[in-house]
């Protein structure tokens, strides 16, 4: 690759990696705290209670408690709840949402998030490099 192209790619990469820092500086404190809590919950660091409620029959359908992450698939009207049950064990639950079934998620404990620190989490086990090995003589 030419040096000019390498420098351009390096500059674009730096801007991409540093942009969250600049954007966090422009956000309201509540927005940053909310984002950080959501990130912590997606990393199974937050205790939650998720309750599903039938508003027509006025009864609770299901309650899930634990270190759970929520995935809302609004186009499919499905809510997926993934819970970490041990260091290496997980459970996943699905519930279809409708006009009479709703849910709410309650955070059971305080979350020690920092509104002054922006966190980027890389999971090395999910990044699989594309390696080409060329051996010549």
pLDDT at 91 (0 to 100): 95
CA distance 127 to 21: 23
The Cα 24–Cα 11 span in angstroms is 20
83 beta partners: 68, 91
pTM of the entire predicted model: 0.61
Taking only Cα atoms into account, the Rg of the chain, rounded to an integer number of angstroms, comes to 21
Task: Tell me which range, 5-19, 72-86, 100-114, is most confidently predicted by mean pLDDT.
Answer: 72-86
Would you place residue 113 in the very low, low, confident or very high pLDDT band (cuts 50, 70, 90)? confident
H or E, element range at 104:
strand 101-107
Largest interatomic CA distance in the chain: 76
- Contact by Cβ (8 Å): 119, 39: yes
Kindly report the CA angle at 118 between 48 and 73, in degrees rounded to 5? 45
């Amino acid at each position: 690759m030419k040096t000019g192209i390498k420098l351009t790619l390096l500059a674009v990469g730096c801007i991409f990696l540093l942009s969250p820092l600049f954007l966090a500086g422009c956000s309201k404190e509540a927005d940053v705290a909310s984002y950080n809590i959501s990130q912590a919950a997606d990393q199974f660091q937050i205790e939650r209670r998720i309750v599903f409620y039938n508003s027509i029959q006025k009864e609770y359908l299901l309650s899930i408690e634990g270190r759970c992450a929520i995935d809302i698939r609004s186009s499919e009207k499905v809510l997926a709840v993934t819970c970490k049950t041990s260091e290496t064990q997980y459970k996943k639950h699905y519930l279809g949402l409708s006009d009479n079934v709703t849910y709410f998620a309650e955070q059971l404990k305080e979350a020690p998030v920092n509104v002054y620190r922006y966190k980027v989490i890389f999971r090395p086990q999910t990044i699989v490099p594309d390696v080409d090995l060329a051996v010549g003589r």
